[in-house]
Chains A and B, each alone.
Chain A
Amino acid sequence: MVGASGWRARAFGLYLPLAGFVVFALFPFYWMLITSLKPNQELYNPQIMPLVVHHPTLKHYADLLTQTQFLRWTYNTMAVAVVSTAASLVLGVMAAYPLARMRFPGAAVLAVGIATTYLVPQTLLFIPMAEIVDRLGLGDTLGSVMLTYPTFLVPFCAWLLMGYFKSVPRELEEAARIDGASRWQAMVRVVLPISTPGLLSAGIFAFTLSQNEFLYALIFLTKTSVRTVPVGAIAELIRGDVFYWGQLMAAALLGCVPVAFIYSFFVEHYVGGLTSGSVKT
């Protein structure tokens, strides 16, 4: 049924460009993987064909896990991501729910205000923020980033959740209120359960955003034992002009795994969150 020209159209219109994009997107990950598996004499010999591993070894992984505090950094990254995501979801719901479902004076101004705080980048705030963290006595504690990450996560969660809350019919809530439920009960027992997909999207997004954060962690966390994975890798596997490439790549790959793992389970929610903001405004 599909003639030769149909195949050609399919190849040039779909498979070839798609293959190009997939290679483009995934090559750095392949490169991380094979670099992390190469012994140093192979890694630093420009005569050897670099695109494959000739003598794979797990030495870089063993060194990373025994000679650095990589596991500690992973634990720190997770703890920070979980706490700041949970806090941001709670605060995000508290902001989004009234703004999406209630009528009260000041609502419009607040909605714009919260959207604006989402768009204020950390790079505009890091210098004063460093001093505030210092004054609070939080320097070199995980508390410093747990307290500051919600500055960009709360507005984001609130903004995303507002869309979901708006889509829940008012009648459901009114029915619960007529049955004697307070506003709080109507929210917790009726609207929030229906909005689970939105909560998941916001949570996964917040989780990946806090794993990705670098600037605050770089400034606030200067002791090895409190560092997160990105800061630990940059600060301790690059010493002056000495790069521990094998270990760096092992750290990069292992650092990507938790995010990729969680993302693979919730990819539909992630995509839903990504697109709901821009497509369904």
Chain B
Amino acid sequence: MNVTRAQSVTVPAAAVRRPAWRGVLEREAVWSWLMLAPPVLYLAAFVAYPFFYGVYLSLESRPVGRPGVFVGLRNFALDLSDPVFWQVARNTFTYTIVATLLKAAGGLALALVMNQQFRLKNAVRASLLLPFIVPTVLSTVAWMWIFDPTFSVINWVLVHAARLHAVPSWLGNPSLAMASIIFVNTWRGLPFYAITLLAGLQTIPPDLYEAAAIDGAGPRQRFSYVTFPLLRPVLIIVTMFSVIFTFSDFQLVYVLTGGGPANATHLFATYAFNIAMGGGQLGLGASVALAMFPALLLLIMGLTLYLRKE
């Protein structure tokens, strides 16, 4: 009652005091669009436009510093007949799939361990997140030194503690180099999984566990019938995010291996960078970068649909 009376008094008064154009501005749709215009225009100019300009570039033969020549789909045809391109595709999928599985499994394990009461819990949680928050390039430099061919601390331990005579060259052997970049990516991304999954675990009501225990469920059954189903939405969202950013990763690989040895660790992003910035072939580089798009589009659409359904 109070509210309606106040409204009926204020609205005409405001109409008298405010000029007509202010009334128009206060309309929900007009005001919303005025607010939205700057960010939307900015994103149109610096995300949408570069994207379509990249598509256009990929249809050109454009060496650096010279005008481009329209060549249609020739760059894509070149990619498809380039054995390195297919190796890069395999590398990218291997890197994404293995690192994602490791991060998800490790993150879930860490979240389950953390989901107990212990002293200094907040400090431990804060320090476990450090790998995720510090600049990737800087922590990767530390890993580069840990994997150094001559002074690797891992190899020092292998020689002096495990008494090995021949030590591996972590970044020099193609399979070990791939394992190394996956390991470092896991190191960096695992805390993200752990902390978000931990938050998810904490939203599960304890009485569900009590009910399950009363029904005779053991720890394993409680996990598969209570914890996991309730955690699944969080796990799916975190994984989709992580897959998108792992798939399009650049800096970790650029710093740690530069795509080597012999292209064994090149991902789409580092290979596109090499072609465009190293080789000066902007059109061809753009076509390699765009090769990520179909997979990314599927992931993005999947994530968007999932988020809308939730």
Contacts and interface: CB of A to CB of B under 8 A. Distances in A.
Interface of A: 13-15, 17-18, 21-22, 24-26, 28-29, 31-32, 35, 43-44, 46, 49-51, 91-92, 94-95, 97-99, 102-107, 110, 112-117, 119-132, 147-148, 150-151, 154-155, 158, 178-180, 182-183, 208, 211-212, 214-215, 218-219, 229-231, 233-234, 245, 248-249, 251-253, 255-256, 259-260, 263-264, 267, 270-271, 274-275, 277-279, 281
B138 interface: yes
Given A103-B28, A104-B32, A281-B237, A31 B142 contact: yes
Given A13-B113, A28-B142, A249-B145, A182 B26 contact: yes
A233 B141 contact: yes
Given A95-B40, A151-B46, A127 B192 contact: no
Nearest to B7: A178
B138 A251 contact: yes
Given A107-B32, A132-B50, A180 B14 contact: yes
Given A121-B244, A129-B50, A212 B300 contact: no
A18 to B, nearest CB: 6
Interface in B261-310: 268-269, 272-273, 276-277, 282, 285-286, 289-290, 292-293, 296, 299-300, 303-304, 307-308, 310
B164 interface: no
A264 B191 CA distance: 16
B39 A92 contact: yes
Given A25-B191, A29-B142, A98-B35, 16 more contacts: A102-B28, A104-B33, A120-B47, A121-B245, A121-B292, A122-B250, A124-B51, A131-B57, A131-B282, A154-B43, A178-B3, A234-B137, A253-B138, A267-B122, A267-B129, A278-B200
Contact of A271 (B31, B39, B49, B199): B199
Interface of B: 3, 6-7, 10, 13-14, 22, 26, 28-29, 31-33, 35-36, 38-40, 42-43, 46-51, 53-54, 57, 109-110, 113-114, 116, 118, 122, 124-131, 133-139, 141-143, 145-146, 150-151, 153, 156, 160, 187, 190-192, 195-196, 199-200, 203, 233-234, 237-238, 241, 244-245, 248-251, 254-255, 268-269, 272-273, 276-277, 282, 285-286, 289-290, 292-293, 296, 299-300, 303-304, 307-308, 310
10 contacts: A28-B131, A95-B40, A119-B296, A125-B51, A182-B26, A230-B138, A233-B137, A234-B137, A252-B138, A271-B129
A270 B14 CA distance: 42
A-B complex: 4 closest residue pairs judged by Cβ atoms: A121-B248, A98-B32, A123-B269, A275-B199
A94 B124 CA distance: 36
A127 B289 CA distance: 9
Contacts, number: 288
B39 A91 contact: yes
Contacts of A270: 129, 133
A105 B28 CA distance: 10
Given A28-B143, A28-B187, A212-B136, A17 B109 contact: yes
A146 B9 CA distance: 48
- Indicate the member of A147, A183, A248, A270 with the most B CB atoms within 10 Å: A183
A121 B153 CA distance: 34
B256 to A, nearest CB: 11
A176 B305 CA distance: 36
B22 A182 contact: yes
B307 A46 contact: no
B146 A124 contact: no
Contact of A275 (B26, B46, B196, B249): B196
Given A25-B130, A31-B142, A128-B53, A279 B203 contact: yes
A125 B237 contact: no
A216 B170 CA distance: 29
Given A127-B286, A275-B199, A94 B39 contact: yes
A94 B50 CA distance: 22
A102 B32 contact: yes
B213 to A, nearest CB: 16
A14 B127 contact: no
Contacts of B296: 119-121, 124
